[in-house]
Amino acid sequence: MTDEDVLQVARRLGLDRAVETDPQSVIAAARRAGDAGSRIRLEGGRFGEPWPPMTVMK
């Protein structure tokens, strides 16, 4: 997704003023959301799988 695509999405969400005021923050926010979502999806690979055994080291 290009920066202009991000700004278009933001406008569709009603964030026109944010796009006009500070487009770089809108673009940075979208990138951060992508990172946060990626991290969850990465961890989400374990859904339904048993946890690794909890090791207790004396």
- The whole-angstrom separation of Cα 23 and Cα 8 is 11
From 3, 4, 7, 13, residue interacting with other proteins (rule: CB under 8 A):
13
- The whole-angstrom separation of Cα 31 and Cα 48 is 29
The closest alpha carbon to 30, from 14, 4, 11, 6, belongs to 6
Terminal Cα distance for the chain, rounded: 50
Least CB distance from residue 25 to other proteins, whole Å? Answer: 4
Least CB distance from residue 19 to other proteins, whole Å? Answer: 9
Least CB distance from residue 16 to other proteins, whole Å? Answer: 8
Please name the amino acid found at residue 34. Answer: G
Chain residues that interact with other proteins, rule: CB under 8 A? 6, 9-10, 13-18, 21-22, 25-26, 28-30, 32-34, 36-37, 39-41, 43-44, 46-47, 51, 54-58
